[in-house]
Every structure is written in structure tokens, then in C-alpha cells.
Amino acid sequence: MLSRFDETPLPGQPLILVLGDDLDDEDHDLLFPALRALGVSVVRVHPHDLTVRMDDNAIGFSAAGIELNPSLVLGWVLDDLLPLGMAHLDAFAAAGIPVINHALTLFRAQDKAVCSAHLASHGIAGYSVITGRDPEALEKWLQETGRSVMKPLSGFGGEGLTLIDDPADARVAVDKLKNAPGSYYAVPYINNPGRDIRVYTVNHHPVFAMYRYAPDGGWITNVRAGGGIAMCPLTPEIASLAEKASRTCGTLIGGVDIGENTTTGGLVVYEVNSCPTLEPPVIEQVALFLADAARDYDSALRDWQPSVIYDTLDADPALFHPSKHAQLRR
């Protein structure tokens, strides 16, 4: 079975169903005990394991032969699991069960073009974007823009990024796209200090941030790309921009990637993530928020605020998962 049932849901307790897989086991090893300590039952159900039964009277859910009546569902599906996961999340919503990071939120955040459209509509992206399938339009845009980055429309971990450094690179990229089946997505290269900032938000409130440094000789600032990390104090400017981006895309739990533009001296929003890996301080706040939301969803959305905001420098390695300690910069 692909799902995770560490404990049988206890009668009389709210039940949180996490729709996801084992990609985030390191997070769940902390999150699930924290929720149970708050008097909340929790299970993780893989989208392939969920059975949905429906008629004109009710919609029912089960997995591994266990009937599930969750008080709250957390959507945490991505990549190949996204279409099926979105369908299940919409079914939960249709059954009247509150969903955090619902189907539309996941779609917005995991399609870079849609995410950029929402950021641009609120004036908080800070750069231009082109997406489509017309190679000539892309070629003209690349000529006008200069140094650029091409990205896959979906995916994570910095995979598939291509730096367009000069006209020769642009020519190669355009030629490849002439027979490509999908759409392209390109943005200008933002001059930066060799790092970006990941801001974690809970109920749209920024709670914790970290710098992500590109590895030596590289330019992709992503933990999976092998770079370094360090705690980043949440300044009012960073926090304000992250909150706006989170509200724009609807991520009640998420991560906002922010760049420091060394040319302009300002900040830009690269993207909003709906299923980021969470660090321990974030997990503590997520547990508190989810426990409140499982008991009274509307009240939690209206009133919940983090008990701790990391706005001063703290070099404690315990702020990060042990698996990342080798990447910490002092």
C-alpha cells in the first residue's frame, strides 16, 4: 500500500487526511506526531489508494478498507500525481469537506505560466514573461530581452532550467522548439548575489525564510541542485512581498521564491510553491494551523496567526532537517 496509516484514527478526534505520497516523509515524521500531540488524528492517503463512492445522497471515501470521514484534507500532490490528486480534492470539496491547498490552488502554483499570470495581474512579479508555442515570437522576445532563462511549465528542484546567454544559445533553443509538443516559458535572467530566498507562509503569514545559494560554478539556486542554505531573517519588505504573493495564488501553506535584483536593488517573485519541503520551524506552525482548521475551518482562516515569526538571525542548525545540515553555510 502506498498510503501511510501510522495509527488508526481515534473516535472523537478531528481527522486530517493528507493527500500525498512518501516524497515528504521527512516532513511527515515531524508533522504527524505534532498533530497527534494536539489531539488530532492524521493519515496520509496516496491518490492511487483512495476509493470514492457516490450517489445522490452522499459521497464516501475509503482507503485500505477503512472508511474515512476527514474533518480537513490537505492537498499535497504534484507532477504525475497532480491530475488525479486535483480530481480527488475537488471531490472532497464537493462533499463539503474543507480542503487546504485545494485543486485550483495546486494548479495555479504548479503551472509556472498560470502562477506568473496571477503575480503579474497584481504587479508583484517584477519582470516580463513569455509563454506559448510560436517559435518566432519567442525568438523576437529573446532578442529584445537578452540574457534569459527557459523553464519547463511544471516541475520542481531546479530541473530543466536552461540559461540563454547569447544569440547562439537563443538560436539553439528556438530550433529545438520548432518540433516540440508543448509550450515554452521564458523569463529574463535576474542579476542576483548568487542566491535566492525561500519564504514559507502559513495561512498567508510569512513565518520562516532561508537563503538558497547556487553551488560553486553554478547558477541554479535550489537545495536539490546541491547549493548551500542559511537562515534568512524575515525583513518587513520580504515578508510583505511574500504575503502578497501567497494571497495572490491562494496557498494557505506554501513557499514563495524571491530574488534580490542587484541591478535595480529591488525584490522580485520567481514563483509560488504549493507543495514545498518544510523545515522544522515551519512544521511547528503548520501543525498549529491545521489543528485549528480541523476544528473550525472558517475561524482558523479568519483568525489564525503564527505563534513565532523568525525575523532575527538564528544560526541554530536545528532550524533545518538533519539531511540538510551538510549544506548549511555559517
pLDDT digits (tens, 9 = 90+) for 66-82: 999 999 999 999 999 99
The string of pLDDT tens digits covering residues 157-175 is: 556 788 999 888 888 888 8
Residue 207: its pLDDT value, please? 98
pLDDT at 17 over 90: yes
- Confidence band for 154, pLDDT divided at 50, 70 and 90: confident
267 shares its domain with 225: yes
CATH of the domain at 164: 3.30.1490.20
9 lies in a domain? no
91 lies in a domain? yes
8 lies in a domain? no
- Confirm if 231 and 310 have CB atoms less than 8 A apart: yes
Q: Which three cell numbers, joined as nine digits, stand for 198?
A: 525561500
* Phi and psi angles of residue 163, each rounded to the nearest 5 degrees, phi first: -90, 125
122 lies in a domain? no
Q: Bigger pLDDT: 179 or 266?
A: 266
Domain that holds residue 144: 128-188
Residue with cell 483512495: 50
Pairing relationship of beta strands 15-19 and 41-45 according to DSSP bridges: parallel
- Confirm if 238 and 208 have CB atoms less than 8 A apart: no
DSSP secondary structure, 95-132, as one string: TT--EES-HHHHHHHHSHHHHHHHHHHTT-S-S--EEE
206 shares its domain with 236: yes
Spell 187-224 as b/e; 16+ CB within 10 A means b.
bbbbebebbbbbbbbbbbbbbbbbbbbbeeeeebbbbe
Residue 222: its pLDDT value, please? 72
173 shares its domain with 270: no
pLDDT at 324 over 90: yes
Alpha carbon distances (Å) from 143 to 153, 187, 223: 21, 12, 31
164 shares its domain with 218: no
The beta strand positions in 58-217, using DSSP E, are 59-63, 66-68, 72-75, 99-100, 130-132, 148-150, 162-164, 184-188, 195-202, 205-213
Into how many domains does the chain fold? 3
pLDDT at 30 over 90: yes
Q: Taking all residues of the chain, what is their mean pLDDT, rounded to a whole number?
A: 93
168 shares its domain with 201: no
The string of pLDDT tens digits covering residues 37-51 is: 999 999 999 999 999
21 lies in a domain? yes
CATH of the domain at 63: 3.40.50.20
Q: Bigger pLDDT: 39 or 8?
A: 39
215 shares its domain with 275: yes
How many alpha carbons lie under 13 Å from residue 327 in its C-beta half-sphere? 24
Q: Which of 188, 207, 230 is the last residue of a domain?
A: 188
Q: How far apart are CA 69 and CA 63, in angstroms?
A: 11
205 shares its domain with 309: yes
Residue with cell 555559517: 330
CATH of the domain at 237: 3.30.470.20
Mean pLDDT of 246-262: 97
Q: How far apart are CA 267 and CA 290, in angstroms?
A: 30
Residue 157: its pLDDT value, please? 57
pTM of the model: 0.94
Q: How far apart are CA 325 and CA 320, in angstroms?
A: 7
The vertex-20 CA angle with 17 and 22, nearest 5°, equals 120
174 shares its domain with 205: no
27 shares its domain with 75: yes
123 lies in a domain? no
Q: Bigger pLDDT: 177 or 213?
A: 213
164 shares its domain with 207: no
The string of pLDDT tens digits covering residues 179-189 is: 777 889 999 99
215 shares its domain with 276: yes
4 lies in a domain? no
7 lies in a domain? no
The string of pLDDT tens digits covering residues 201-238 is: 999 999 999 999 988 877 777 776 678 999 999 999 99
Q: Which of 162, 188, 214 is the last residue of a domain?
A: 188
Which residues are CB-neighbours of 26 under 8 A, at least 6 positions away? Answer: 277, 321, 323
173 shares its domain with 233: no
Residue 225: its pLDDT value, please? 66
Residue 181: its pLDDT value, please? 77
The string of pLDDT tens digits covering residues 91-149 is: 999 999 999 999 999 999 999 999 999 999 999 999 999 999 998 899 999 999 999 99
Residue 175: its pLDDT value, please? 86
Q: Which of 160, 188, 216 is the last residue of a domain?
A: 188
Q: How far apart are CA 274 and CA 256, in angstroms?
A: 9
